[in-house]
Amino acid sequence: ALALLATACGGTSDADKKDDKGAASSGSSAPEVPAEALTAAELEKATLAQGDVKGSKVTKAGPADEVPADGVTVDKEACLPVAHAMYGVAQKGSVATTKRKVIDEPKAGGKKSLEDLAAGEAEDALKDAFDLTSTFVALNSYEGTAGPDAFAALKTAAADCAGGFTATVAGTPTKVASIAEEKVTGGDEAAAWTVTSEDDGDKAPFKLVALRKEGAVATFFSFNLAAAGGG
């Protein structure tokens, strides 16, 4: 997600995709002049497209990826902005939205087949095969101060819900065990967190990044198969 942040918005991070460690996020006050919302056409031009992210495939989100605002419920109301960011749901005041799925392309394999690899090499090859990150990107355009307000609400919710909560979508609950803030910079304001989910005792880390530039707010929610499996 942090690499996408740099690509999409000119942000930078002192942590890479596999080891995003830190303890604070950058911030700035709301713009003195209320931002004019980008139109749907302008937002589409600003959205990630195929070729923007080296080594990744970028596609438009489809109907199956859409989650309506009233389709997300939480056991702790204060945590709703985090749940919305996880599922790409816009906050109040959004006038236009684009959504993309960004998936790492498999690395080019070596000359050896799995049958020809030694035991250790085969294990490493299998780990590499699962070392793929999938990111759901939502870019929302807000009128006036709604963008800064939405960003601030997400930061507050992430801090208040550091101990976890449960979000339910389409009858399926997702337990968030913890939310830990990471360090990231970019745009007018940026923030990042490791969101750890838990299912029957098994934990999996996700990365959630939010960035605001004037009245536009982008959220990136990433999942790495190898990280989830402890690789």
Q: For every one of its 231 residues, what pLDDT tens digit does the chain have, with 9 covering 90 and above?
A: 444 444 444 443 333 333 343 333 444 455 555 567 888 888 888 888 888 888 888 889 889 889 998 999 999 999 999 999 999 999 999 999 999 999 888 776 544 554 555 555 544 544 554 568 889 999 999 999 999 999 999 999 999 999 999 999 999 999 999 999 999 998 899 999 999 999 998 999 999 999 999 999 999 999 987 666 554
Which residue type is seen at 39? T
The DSSP secondary structure of the chain, one letter per residue, reads -HHHHHHHH--B-SSBTTB---S-----PPPSSPBPPPPHHHHHHHS--TTSSTTEEEEE--GGG---GGGEEESSGGGHHHHHHHTTPPPTTEEEEEEEEEEEPPPPP-SS-TTTS-HHHHHHHHHHHH--EEEEEEEEEE-BTHHHHHHHHHHHHHHHTTT-EEEEETTEEEEEEEEEEE--B-SSEEEEEEEEEEETTEEEEEEEEEEEETTEEEEEEEEEHHHHTT-
* Residues β-bridged to residue 208: 193, 221
* Residues β-bridged to residue 140: 97, 217
CA–CA separation, 208 and 191 (whole Å)? 8
- Phi, psi torsion values for 102, nearest 5 degrees: -120, 120
CA–CA separation, 210 and 85 (whole Å)? 8
- Predicted confidence at residue 151, as pLDDT, reads 97
The structural domains of the chain, with segments of one domain joined by +, span: 2-104+133-228
Q: Is the pTM of this model over 0.85?
A: no
Q: Which residue has the tokens 């749901």?
A: 89
- Predicted confidence at residue 94, as pLDDT, reads 93
CA–CA separation, 85 and 76 (whole Å)? 15
- Predicted confidence at residue 45, as pLDDT, reads 86
CATH architecture of 2-104+133-228: 3-Layer(aba) Sandwich (3.40)
- Predicted confidence at residue 79, as pLDDT, reads 98
CA–CA separation, 194 and 221 (whole Å)? 10
- Predicted confidence at residue 2, as pLDDT, reads 42
